Structure 1
């Protein structure tokens, strides 16, 4: 990815901080979504959590800051590059100090600097996709608001009335309401506008503000002055825009984040590693050490960065297969069709079963096996007809969806992996969307029949017009270019994502569904999310840059769990190396081929490193079939070896979302590339 930090007028967007980021076109607007929501049964499948959220805001599940909103006690969050946490009377912020071990790079939240504003309660009063604003309350009285954002080192507090607040350490004044304070090894800059500083006391007029900013190590007096100048105006919000340009292999998807301050103009910005290194146009020469390595501090109004366009694919390319391979593959398709079992009733395994059948159907069609293709199509249509009945949950307790009016989202009646707590919705629904997009691609009548529910699954993960029934792009984070899996994020390390590959599959499925229904606005948004997620999957999970000093001691080729405050080599479900790698590959959908074979994926050398580590004890291990399929992307020789190994892999070694035929087809097509 390439990045730029600009000092112009910022990105297109309305600056709204009520949970409505800027979108291109009307993506699933209220006029489209409201009647569909009304047709679903209304029910909270899981217990509704405590919410510290202002009236009128859509609950922001699956956000980097969800821990501020949900649960009995607020959790620390990681705006980047600093940590932020609410206290009994105000807030604390700190610059994490990364420490690496064999299996983790950690940077826990630190309370370097605190501000006591006399609050007795807090609530999130505004948010967009990148920033969040917290109201500090004394009873029903709003004392002031604090805004923090990803990519901004500013902690911005604005007083709602005249007041005197207390810092946790005394400020060494440099005059004009400015100074620095030091706690341990950390130095923070302090800038007061509309008030004054005196030791630990911060006097603010109504509308006055205090901005806190971590001073990078090694900053000279002149550089500290530059930092304080650029931090003078409190951050208000961040707008998000995206656009596509170019064509073919040169096509790119651009994300633009506009950082808006109370006074307008330049502010301090921090670009993440996947954005392409040092931002241009306003480099301060300073940087922060983070769990992601060294990141530059710049001055400007916006960040703009590109990702190569990743295109959703409905099926594998079998054009290079020989007659013998096609015969062998056809025999296995028929065997897999015959051995297909009854699907699961929950949204994860039920969705995976639909996806598996859709991939087998694609293979049968390409191989000219009309009988198998018809059998599979009939089965998929019957099952999707059941799942997409809007009133299904009125008559049964499974294979149906309801709308949760409290947390605002679509939930399957049978929960799995915490889906009733809004965990992993995009993983689950991506499988449904992929299957429906494939099967309905050439059948407008089917697409129309399934739309009342399938459009709601799309809206649950990808609304983009502030429709009020769902948060926009529920899990997707445009700053990091990836999604967050935990609905309520009840963790001291922030939110997290494990399966980068299922995230990519989700937005590929969204793209296929948008194409099947002719929804160009949704298709444009899906392409942006798919391209972004694929690029970040490589940058942070499958081919991360671990060369910096903050990663010294970490001893693995990949990172499998990315959090706000740490990076882990592990999974939620297994300690096996095959699972740790496999969860970054599952389900190896047709759309995976382009990004896993791109230059950013690290080539055969990185694939070999991942496979050698993951399959040291063989491929008959959790998710080992995906590791074996991935190994074929190294080249024809490795593909031939993978095909031979696959023939000896027992049925228990094939994941329930996979099939031996699809695994064979993936390996064969890789060898024919």
Structure 2
């Protein structure tokens, strides 16, 4: 939900991909389709890990850790529409279906979907753009009265969600399946009965159609009969509804519609400088699925986009035939250190003086998980610089403060001794929560933003200190498990925040919004996965490191595609008046933040905290210059001015020199609490071309 925050990350251009990938070349991971992991192991013939072989935080690892931690629920999230036995699905694109008194619409794309008092409704969103908004909200063109009184999510996995529709006595009447990327909404009758539609469908061979506004909708029925607005189904019969692309054919989709999607799975492979992601729809035959612009950019040649296109708020969706969505992204390195070897003697002297000064003035650490996490990250970067510059005294001071504070945070029973600087395990909502919440963290908002800073600091501090890593591991592993489990361990949802189809994270825990879930700081998500990779490396968790690099690389590309470097030639941006989109939702995109109307905040929240992994933001000098001009009008003495100088330097050597000159005299009040003048100067000095 991204409330009043400040965030972001960058990557050291001198870091060698070969170094990173030495132990990861040709690493394949397959993730099970359901909450329960599939069996399997390492296939030595193919060097591919199956779901079991690549589990990240299986129950055998986390059960004892959660048992040892203080257990406490800070807030009842009211998972009103969730079947017993399921992990509460916070931070998902469909969370609004589950939590709160009223179900909210969701956006599986290309369709929008919502629950109603007696069934459900669906429709293809109408996409419009204004100066500050791209809208494609809930559009219930087709409503289905199933004669039910309530609904519960009864299953979910990587792409699909199954919803039980119940009568007034709680008896199951039917099941509805929705899936990200699927143009089909399927209702399967668990009892013989009749559906009432709001519009009359007309027969067209073996299927039926109706027009609502400019969109044609199709209907295919198995084991049933259609009579205008009524669909009579036998037990086990199904009604499948779909939107027909304006440039597609209804009969082609009607042929695929009976091939029910019953689940989905995810696999990813790192090979050299490339990551291949495969999203698979489980069906008896070919189905149809839509690819987003970031998929289409590097779509595997085996994927055939042959069924037409749909408009969406993210750009044109191409509709494909098959079961496997396969695409590639370049690897983004989880770099955590600046390369200061190339600095001149004068620069090292200036930086040494500043590091000494900043470490001597380290303020008290905040007690909440957001600002507390940022403070730990800040000091970790100062300690790292001090170590690189061989400043033994200041490095010792910084390490002492870090080890003491992290020692408090990583005490599993800290909550029995104090009311701050500690975590608890919430067995009701299935996650780790700081005892001093911030920005709705007790509602599971922004956990990856918060915990990414902790993991980053711990990973940096313990990279050459196995004993210290072992000391921190019981709690740090739980923070990592909170946002990055993938083993169906029963204690945490798999990949709590990360949406493999969308390619990025969602920040709101319960998503109590009519526009779906949302995320603001794509850059702090990058920091989270960088920190996760650093902690995985320090703690010797190879499966976690591979997963973190996959999420980091995927989110970096989505961040460019939908936040900072979108393709302005796409029709969806006609009428939108800005260079960036700071806040993306399931059903709209806004030139806005949760906390400030200032242009500097719009870009600042997308680059904070400019870690060494943030160089993924580079590569397009003209776009960077345009983004900075819109955000600052040439004025850096304002909130986020430090981070915007660092981002501006990515445009080229002349911009770097200008940014460094400005940074030398930037007033301290414009240096963020997660940054320091030392790191600001060091970053700009190290970014020499």
Give the TM-score range, shorter chain: over 0.9
Q: Distance in 2 between matches of 1:522 and 1:588?
A: 23
Structure-1 residue corresponding to 2:16: none
Structure 1 residue 542 corresponds to structure 2 residue 564: yes
Question: Does structure 1 retain, via aligned residues, the 8 Å contact 2:636–2:642?
Answer: yes
1:238 to 244, 247, 264: 264
Change (3 A) 1:646 1:12: closer
1:492-503 pair list within 5 angstroms: 492-503=514-525
- Cα 1:258–1:293 change in 2 (3 A) is same
Deviations 1:530-578 (A, max 9, x none): 1111111111111011222221111111111010001111110111111
* Paired position in structure 1 for 2:22: none
For residue 326 of structure 2, the aligned residue among 282, 304, 322 is: 304
CA distance in 1, matches of 2:337, 2:382: 9
Gaps of 5+ in 1: 1-10
Helix, strand or coil: the match of 1:307? Answer: strand
User: How far does residue 276 in structure 1 lie from its aligned partner after superposition?
Assistant: 2.3
Identify the match of residue 16 of structure 1 among 34, 37, 42. Answer: 34
- Measured in 1, the distance between the counterparts of 2:36 and 2:196 equals 29
1:313 aligns with 2:335: yes
Q: Can you list the C-alpha shifts for 1:575-633, whole angstroms capped at 9, x where unaligned?
A: 1111110111000111112x123x4xxx1111101110111161122212101111111
Q: Verify: 1:663 aligned to 2:685, yes or no.
A: no
SS in 2 for 1:42: coil
TM-score (norm 2): 0.92
The DSSP-based 3-state class of the residue aligned with 1:570 is coil
Task: Give a deviation string over 1:385-430, Cα, whole Å, max 9, x none.
Answer: 0000000000110000001111110000001010000000000000
Is residue 358 from structure 1 mapped to residue 380 from structure 2 by the alignment? Answer: yes
The 3-state SS of whatever aligns with 1:182 is strand
- Counterparts of 1:424-503 in structure 2, within 5 Å, are 424-503=446-525
1:167 to 193, 197, 222: 197
Q: 1:15 to 1:636 in 2, by over 3 A?
A: closer
Larger CA deviation: 270-279 vs 190-199: 270-279
TM-score, normalised by the number of residues in structure 1: 0.94
The answer to whether structure 1 residue 559 and structure 2 residue 567 are counterparts is no
| Secondary structure of 1:158 counterpart | strand
Contact 1:437 1:509 in 2 (8 A): yes
Counterpart of 1:341?
363
Q: Report what 2:177 is aligned to.
A: 147
RMSD, aligned CA: 1.6
Residue 201 in 1 paired to residue 246 in 2?
Answer: no
Cα distance in structure 2, aligned partners of 1:666 and 1:526: 24
- In 1, Cα distance between equivalents of 2:175 and 2:36: 14
Tell me which residue corresponds to 2:254.
Answer: 228
Q: For the structure 1 residues 390 and 78, does the alpha-carbon distance in structure 2 shift closer, same or farther, using more than 3 Å as the test? A: same
**Residue in structure 1 matching 2:638, options 621, 627, 648:** 621
Listed one character per residue, the Cα deviations across residues 36-63 of structure 1 (whole Å, up to 9, x for unaligned) are 0011111111233242101110000000
Moved more, 310-319 or 451-460: 310-319
How far has the Cα of 1:218 moved from its partner?
A: 3.8
Give the number of equivalent residue pairs: 647
- Contact conserved, 1:192 with 1:210, CA < 8 A, in 2? yes
Rounded to whole Å, the distance in 2 between the matches of 1:57 and 1:371 is 52
Note the C-alpha offset of 1:158: 0.8
Distance of 1:60 and 1:129 partners within structure 2:
12
Query: Does the 8 A contact of 2:36 with 2:487 survive in 1?
Result: no
Does the CA contact (< 8 Å) of 1:24 and 1:242 recur in 2? no
Residue 657 (structure 2) aligns with? 640
3-state SS, counterpart of residue 587 of structure 1: coil
Quick one: which of 53, 70, 87 aligns to 2:99? 70
CA offsets, 1:464-520, max 9 Å, x none? 100000001100000011000000000000000100000000010000000001111
Aligned position for 2:670:
653
In 2: Cα distance, 1:667 partner to 1:341 partner: 24
1-structure distance, mates of 2:594, 2:315: 25
Question: Among residues 511, 533, 538, which one is paired with 1:516 in the alignment?
Answer: 538
Residue of 617, 625, 642 corresponding to 1:596 = 617
**2-side partners of 1:94 and 1:291: how far apart?**
14
Equivalent residue, structure 2, for 1:608: 625
Shift of 1:14: 4.6
Which residue number corresponds to residue 288 of structure 2? 268
2:208–2:220 CA contact under 8 A, matched in 1 = yes
> How many angstroms apart in 2 are the aligned matches of 1:79 and 1:186?
18
Q: Secondary structure at the match of 2:117?
A: coil
Determine the structure 1 residue equivalent to 2:240. Answer: 211
Distance 2:568 2:117 in 1: 38
Deviation of the 1:284 alpha carbon: 2.5
